[in-house]
Chain A
Amino acid sequence: MRVLIQLRSSHQVRAALAANEPVPAAATAAEALMSAGLVLDQSFEPVELPSPRLDAEDDGRVLAMAAPLDFSEPATTVVRGVIPDDEGAQAVLAAAGANPAVLGVFADPVVERCLTCIGDPPVGTHKDVARLLGVGKLTSAGLTGQGVHLAIVDSGINVAHLRDRDQAAKLDAAKSWTPRGVSSGPGRHMVDHGTMCAFDAGIAAPKATFLDHAVLLSQQGGPTPMAGLLSDAVRSYAKLRTVLDAMPASRRALVVSNSWGMFDPAWDFPVGHPGNYSNNPRHPFNVIVASLEAAGADILFAAGNCGRDCEDGRCNFRRRPICGANSHGRVLSVAGIDTKRKRVGYSSQGPGRLAAAKPDLATYTHFKGSEVYAPDPDGGTSAACPVLAGVVAAVRTKYRANRLPPASLRSLLCKTADDLGRMGFDHDHGWGTVDTTALLAALARVPVARGGGSRRRPS
């Protein structure tokens, strides 16, 4: 095993380090351990460390971390090496214990970055995501998204690309919305972010009907190709309200996936200003989100990519980046995990600005899927959000909003979630990730409509 050995330093060692010259093993007490089996790593330049200082008031058991570092006598030197794994290790440790010049032998475990970050290759594929989501169980339960409208509020969908990737990709053009001045139509937009989102939503809801709301193609949003204004989203949501209101109450099923948001507080009125968006439930967009949800829509927002470990370079929020509708109490705010069920480092952390307990749930991202950005993955919480939207759409196949209102479905998803991170809710993962088995068991207790009436679904 690899070890680090802390030794009392010597004038020879300090002189060699000061001169930036190799430190001979003979100059360290490590030589005394080599005959016992230590193989010194000559490529590792010894590191000089201050001696640990002990706090006299706690019987010397606790290091006094507040004490200033002191490199004067008796400073120590750390070297690296390998000792045998089995009985041989005991010989080295015994030799170390008998040598007053050896202060300690410590494990030197392999360390690696724990979190998937921007620029990392894909972690798994959409097939892994389907397996982890339990899509087979959903399908067996008849939950495929059939008859459910799934709005992708984004940069537009390219249906041909989705069909090339073996998705059915049904689309209702009449219920879609395209901003003024855009020449391409619903389902025929350039292959980009919105197509990725649609693909990822289709993993769990292959038979859902897409509504293509190409808000981010707005010509109003400035110099970047994919940008809109929040007022474009207001128009889109007003259209979605007409779609929802036209559905008979017993058949209402509209899921709205939003993988976008605001990166910079400078784009907004300041917090405290009555016209502010980020923190203000009275802002028109936050009002229309609430009213659409109250009418029966399931609304999901990506939590954002401003995670503290490796945030998107465009993030300009110094704290609480989950803001505006992305933090609304009537939506599901979706964090990102990879297919190893670890939070991706860029996934924004709560608390949220409108509702503190954000994000709500975490689902999969950073996988090889739509290949819209190949060889880069379907990434960002942009991918996680539609993945969960697909699950919600699948549930809505049988459990319509009149029987299971959006708030109840959100609650069910959170209560049955597979806990991640710290026990219970946390601001990295919310309540955890979807546990399809537990979700299906809970859904079995929800009354479903049959032939105009309702009864409890047999378990």
Chain B
Amino acid sequence: MVAPMGTVMMTVELEPGAADLPHAAERLGVDLQVLDAEFGLVPIDPDQHLYTVLAEEEAVAGADARPGVSGPFSDPPIRPFGPPER
């Protein structure tokens, strides 16, 4: 299965004070320009210091082997549940 548009989410754990996109790229072991700057670094669980970024799937292949990194996660299309269609 190929994620839509080749884009995936990656989750990174970052220390307080180092929660920015450059540190996320460093944690992932990729160049900063690989990450979607417009999407940015989005906190998903601030209490656990967990953030997510968007990247091309190929560019982050194998990054999940690094500490504090998990992914790639799918970024599927979402649709409204109405009005229902036949």
Contact = CB atoms under 8 A, between A and B. Distances in A.
Contact of B86 (A119, A237, A262): A119
A88 interface: no
A118 B85 contact: yes
Interface residues of B, number: 38
B65 interface: no
Interface in B39-86: 39, 42-48, 50, 52, 54, 64, 70-86
B14 interface: no
A304 interface: yes
Interface stretch (B1-9, B15-23, B26-34): B1-9
B5 to A, nearest CB: 8
Given A274-B70, A277-B73, A314 B79 contact: yes
Interface in A287-314: 287-288, 290-291, 294, 302, 304-305, 312-314
B11 to A, nearest CB: 5
Interface string A219-251: 011101011111111110110010000000000
A215 interface: yes
Interface string A336-367: 00000000001000000000000000000000
Interface residues of A, number: 68
A346 B44 CA distance: 33
B70 A382 contact: no
A154 interface: yes
A148 B36 CA distance: 34
A266 to B, nearest CB: 7
Contact of A313 (B1, B42, B43, B85): B85
A31 interface: no
B79 A224 contact: yes
A241 B46 contact: yes
Contacts of A382: 80-83
B10 to A, nearest CB: 8
Interface string A86-129: 00000000000000000000000000000000110000000000
